[in-house]
Structure 1
Amino acid sequence: MGLMQRAVETYDFMQKQTPDRQPAPISHMTTRADLEITINETGTFCSANAVSKDEPKTVIPTTESSRGRTSGVCAHPLCDQLQYVAAYNDKKHTAYVSQLEKWTYSEESHPKLLPILTYVKGGTILSDLERCRLIKRDSQGGLENEEKSGKLLVRWRVIGLDDNTPDTCFEDSTLFDSFIRFYQKEHSEDPVCLCMISGEHGRRAEQHPKGIIPISGNAKLISSNDTSGFTYRGRFTNEEQALEISYEASQKAHNALQWLASEQGVIYGGRTFLCWNPQGHEVCHVVGAFANFSKPQREPTNYQAQLKKTLEGYQSQLPKTAGVVIAAFDAATSGRLSLTYYNELQNSDFLQRLYDWDNTCCWYTYFGIQSPPLWQIVNCAFGTQREEKGKMCMKTDDRVMRQQIQRLIACRVDKRRFPADIMQSLVHRASSPLGYEANVRKTILSTACAVIRKYHLDREKEDWDMTLQPNKEDRSYQFGRLLAILEKAERDTFGNDETREPNAIRQQSVFCQRPLYAANNIEGQLERAYFPRLSPGSRMFYKKLIGEIMEQIGRFPEEQWNQPLRETYLLGYYLQRNALYTSKHQNTMEENDHDSTEE
């Protein structure tokens, strides 16, 4: 099934849930109201107030034309902008009053409508709002700053009816039902089509709603009104031949997608990502963390065990056959919304793929072993270093972010191989540490190591261990270990000066290209200037480790010794450096110092 069918299925299921977990009814939409006017049962003004931005969005009735309006005059039936509700714009106000009158005096009328119509016809809206200090008027009696104030959306509250319904129009389900019945009768004679979503006959939708994605308010997912361009020219003679969808199915699908986008849509670089189950089961978001541990996991075995428990927990909550829908939306232009990614999976497959990703694309961080978030991978690979809130961090251009996040989602969900260009960019940045602040540098290195593990598992089916392997038969890995030892030996002579960079870090970019040449230079500097400052035990410890690593490197052909390193050198570098700071190695150096003193 496609996106629209799944959206209709979601709508039908969610309509059975509690009102706070429901999409807007058909012929309605949710939007942000700015002003609320309260009147009594006779249409007399009582009060007005500004609607807080923290309040939930307001449900308002709409016609097919008004919901898709971009320019021209087209009024909503009840709640609308001040330029329609107030009497200062004759054309728009007439359209609003005419439509409200038609509904008020129809067989499907509602008790709240006549008081509202009476008050609107009274023409005192602007003066009442000015008295409540919600707007300002100019010397001619019109709105001051009309371009902005005229777009303030008004919603209604009618008190004193005693009909056992909410005073607020936007919470009264009987009012919703009244407009649905009225609108259906108004269009009962409209053409009928075979709906390509539901497979049933119904009134054909002439227009489709806009505003599915809040950040792209005017963009439509379905549009075919371009009779002079290339929307369908050359393939069909009219838009009906290209696509026919019933009004009801269109309303359900668009309202469901709008509700999903506002409830759980995640936005990266202007692109909105959705991930949901049509039957309302809660699922992990495809761009979110698969597991949130109560305490940091410092050992790989513990991390894998906790990850497995998380998978089993999710599997016990969701039926194996439950479906998961993943979709991404982006506005190519201000009026066109694109579906840039779509996939459907069974829950069991979806969870397993998230588990596999987090189990293979992970590394040590300050908070224990974790899988780096997708946005972090993109920022570290393509971002620039900036200061935000007093801290340095990596930030990526929106155009790059949205494209790369979607590539990584495809890798995570579709089991595609990890992109080589992202891995290589991370390796390049991790190999040039002087260009970044200390904390940013650590994040880049950790992220690069996680990605390298994932990349090699995808390409070579080789699982790189997250524990140090002194006898690893990989030249680059061994040279990475050597770099860590040369760095740590020099740092041990710095004392408390953490701002000073050792020669190993300064020459790391050269080390990647000519490892033996750079290692000889760094070691020569250690011998002349730094080893004499170390205690005998520490000096003996480091020289022994260097000798063991050179023995491992010597097993490879001599012509390879000074060739550029592969990315795996970063794994050896990180793990060896991590091991040098553990108590085991510190104790070894202290024991060597003690033995030297006794001699």
Structure 2
Amino acid sequence: MGFWQHLAESYDKNADAFKKTYPLSTTTISNNGDMIIIIVIDGNGKFIRYDKIEKKSNPSLKSPGNPLVNITIPVTEESMGRSSGISPHPIFDQYEYLKGEGKKYDAYMGQLKDFSESSFSTEKVKAIYNYIKKKTVASDLSEIGIKDKTNIIFQVEIQGQLQSKVWEDEIFFYAWHQYYLDIKAKRAEEKKKAQKMLTDKLKLSSGEKKQLKEQTRFKDAISLDYIEGNDKEPAAIFHPKKISIRNAANAKLVSDNDDENYTFRGKFEDSSQAVSIGYESSQKAHQFLRYLINDRGYYCGEQVILSFTIGSTEKLLPPPVENDSLSAIIHSSGFKTENDIQTELRANMGLDYAEALRKSLDSFKYGNTLEKHAKTAVIALDASTKGRLSITFYRELDRNEYLERIADWHEGCKWKQQFWDKENQKFVFYIGAPSVDKIIEAVHGKPRGGEDKSYTKIKKAARERLLRCIFDGAFLPMDFVIAALRRVSNPLGITKQNKFDRNRFEQVVSTACALVRKDYKQRKKEDYKLSIELDRTDRDYLYGRLLGAADKLEEYALYKQGKDRMVTAAIRHMQAFTQHPFRTWQTIHSCLNPYIQKVKKSYGFRELQAIMDKFIPGDYEKDVPLNGSFLIGYYHERAYIDSFTNVSDKNKNLNEKTGTEDSNE
């Protein structure tokens, strides 16, 4: 029960912030499928007017559209999970419950009457009851084409009270929750007494027996709360759905006890003996989970990844992975957040994010007083079906350990990365680990378009495996590394509009290099530098450098000729090159010869010769497949040539940067 206990505890620690936004014994309705009607009355229950929250619509050229609006409403356990039958909400409900006739109206009015006449009632509740019992809802809304399923909420204008919107009234929600707790406790006590009288086999009349059986129909019971350890509070009978998981609105994390089939029979006398969770504890845990998902959820289809600081009153930690930028998320005063560092990235291209993260982490650890024994939880939830939600990943880490492991991931998997700066409409470079989604794209490619369910399934599983690498220190899956290398070795398969996409290819190369570096560091205890290693004599690395030099030199020559959209020989033959480098290099070199003189009188020859001279005798002639280090060499060589070639200003050529003359000029 640690998971549930931590959720409930965190709700308690942040209760003041949640009283209005996530009150207990509530759920939400929205204008997503239909409009919402607001009935405005005065303190005596007299109708004043009605307003509408129009159905959500997307903006168009003719209309700005209507935004999505979520309204918090009070519920009972039965109404919270209703799908059919008669289970009225306490105050706000659908038109069919309020229109003044039928069994649904009778059930709604009976429940509202009890609440209105209780000691927990408020002025607004009494005003609503006085209005509803007049049975004028249908006539008051006769001008509207209203449906039975249209939701109706109330606004009560009382002189001297500033808050007239009942759905935003904290006192109202608190009153309902306390009333409902009291009702559940009374039901449980009545049930207990009735069961005792029936089992004692007293001489009872048929009427008395019928009355006692009626009192036992409620499932409410006072039993041990496995979360709080309290045995004096009513237990939860039905647990909330609508936990805000996309495409699975009715998914439940806790199923209700089934007292009719085989869930507990043969082991226990009743369902509460199997396991029980207190009603209030269940509400707190589910509401805090809703908050995490709504405010900090990182989605993939129906999968969501979360993290939070257990029981902390500080600002809560955001999720440990991000969709389209840097994956380390840190918080707290005196500590640079991701936004802070991204601001620096815009001003300082190529910032070593991993190094900045480590320094900022040290400042955070030693410059701030952490809450004693503070822990951080990382959770992955997934809806396998529309009605079932499961916890697929859960880890509890000390706060420092959480931050350390994110920093270690960035340090071990860092490479030069880029992300699209929407604000300034340009690519920004940084040194750090690629985002989880970029890794998955490098390994599995992009989805086929539309709703690719098979790709979503693969993506979910990949994210969970990567979470284990980040937070458990597990080795990077070897199949990820191999798949990324195979994909990048077939560059012509990386396309946009059926043409080779150089930008995407280079992003995949950067990601694959990060994976190779991490893999070598973990399995072979070998660390590659981020810049070229001119003294390295490794055959695979040198062949990668040859390929990078050939690619860059031909790319530049094609640009000079105005043919920069042509694909270089190095790219065309890359797949064959990884399998038979010696044989394929002869083909690539023969394609390159015409360009060497066009690029530069002697540079092309000298650079290729310098690489050739690094081979240990006999290595160059080996025509066996290359390992992952060839990609590191390929990347390093291209970056090395870029380091003295102004790639951002293509009006200047290679000769101007090195002081030699072009043979054509």
- TM-score category by the smaller chain? 0.7 to 0.9
Give, in whole Å, the separation in 1 of the partners of 2:435 and 2:453: 14
Match of 2:168 in 1: 171
Match of 1:504 among 564, 570, 573: 570
Whether contact under 8 Å (2:597, 2:604) holds in the other structure is: no
What amino acid maps onto 1:516 in structure 2?
A: F
Give, in whole Å, the separation in 2 of the partners of 1:188 and 1:525: 85
- 1:147-546 mapped onto 2 (5 Å cutoff): 149-162=147-160, 164=161, 166-189=163-186, 190=188, 191-201=221-231, 202-215=233-246, 216-227=248-259, 231-232=263-264, 238-277=270-309, 278-282=311-315, 283-288=317-322, 289-290=327-328, 291=338, 292-296=341-345, 302-315=352-365, 316=367, 319=370, 321-364=373-416, 365=418, 366-369=427-430, 370-384=432-446, 397-436=455-494, 437-494=501-558, 495=560, 496-527=562-593, 529-536=594-601, 540-546=602-608
Give, in whole Å, the separation in 2 of the partners of 1:513 and 1:99: 76
Match of 2:651 in 1: none
Give the deviation of 1:182 after TM superposition.
Answer: 2.3
What amino acid maps onto 2:128 in structure 1?
A: I
What amino acid maps onto 2:44 in structure 1?
A: T
Give, in whole Å, the separation in 1 of the partners of 2:363 and 2:137: 57
Q: CA RMSD in A?
A: 2.9
Match of 1:123 in 2: 135
Unaligned segments of structure 1, at least 5 residues: 137-142, 144-148, 389-393
Give, in whole Å, the separation in 2 of the partners of 1:234 and 1:375: 48
Give, in whole Å, the separation in 2 of the partners of 1:558 and 1:532: 25
Match of 1:42 in 2: 44
What amino acid maps onto 1:551 in structure 2?
A: D
Whether contact under 8 Å (2:354, 2:410) holds in the other structure is: no
**Change beyond 3 A, Cα 1:323–1:206:** same
**TM-score, with normalisation over the residues of structure 1?**
0.87
Cα deviation code 1:10-53 (max 9, x no counterpart): 11111134755x5313x233443633221112323223223376
Give the deviation of 1:276 after TM superposition.
Answer: 0.9
Give the deviation of 1:9 after TM superposition.
Answer: 0.5
Give, in whole Å, the separation in 1 of the partners of 2:629 and 2:4: 45
Give the deviation of 1:257 after TM superposition.
Answer: 1.4
Give the deviation of 1:576 after TM superposition.
Answer: 0.4
**TM-score, with normalisation over the residues of structure 2?**
0.79
Give the deviation of 1:303 after TM superposition.
Answer: 4.1
What amino acid maps onto 1:204 in structure 2?
A: A
What amino acid maps onto 2:181 in structure 1?
A: Q
Match of 2:335 in 1: none
> Is the aligned partner of 1:105 residue 2:167?
no
Give the deviation of 1:126 after TM superposition.
Answer: 4.0
Match of 2:13 in 1: 13
Whether contact under 8 Å (1:35, 1:50) holds in the other structure is: yes
Give, in whole Å, the separation in 2 of the partners of 1:385 and 1:18: 38
Cα deviation code 1:305-336 (max 9, x no counterpart): 42223323543457163211111211222222
Whether contact under 8 Å (1:383, 1:395) holds in the other structure is: no
* Secondary structure at 2:185 match in 1: coil
Give, in whole Å, the separation in 2 of the partners of 1:318 and 1:309: 17
Whether contact under 8 Å (2:409, 2:470) holds in the other structure is: yes
* Secondary structure at 1:222 match in 2: coil
Give the deviation of 1:7 after TM superposition.
Answer: 0.8
**Change beyond 3 A, Cα 1:439–1:229:** farther
Report runs of 4+ in structure 1 exceeding 6 Å deviation.
385-388
**Change beyond 3 A, Cα 1:117–1:486:** same
Whether contact under 8 Å (1:384, 1:396) holds in the other structure is: no
What amino acid maps onto 1:125 in structure 2?
A: V
Cα deviation code 1:215-258 (max 9, x no counterpart): 23212111143456664567656432321112221122122212
What amino acid maps onto 2:589 in structure 1?
A: E
Cα deviation code 1:518-576 (max 9, x no counterpart): 1011112223x33354442xxx22222222222323345467x2110111211110110
Whether contact under 8 Å (2:29, 2:70) holds in the other structure is: yes
Give the deviation of 1:271 after TM superposition.
Answer: 0.7
Give, in whole Å, the separation in 1 of the partners of 2:350 and 2:411: 13
Give the deviation of 1:577 after TM superposition.
Answer: 0.6
Give the deviation of 1:284 after TM superposition.
Answer: 4.3
> Is the aligned partner of 1:579 residue 2:640?
yes
Whether contact under 8 Å (1:24, 1:30) holds in the other structure is: no
Whether contact under 8 Å (2:245, 2:251) holds in the other structure is: no
Give, in whole Å, the separation in 2 of the partners of 1:30 and 1:314: 38
Give, in whole Å, the separation in 2 of the partners of 1:430 and 1:422: 12
Percent of residue pairs bearing the same amino acid type: 29
What amino acid maps onto 2:628 in structure 1?
A: E
Whether contact under 8 Å (1:383, 1:396) holds in the other structure is: no
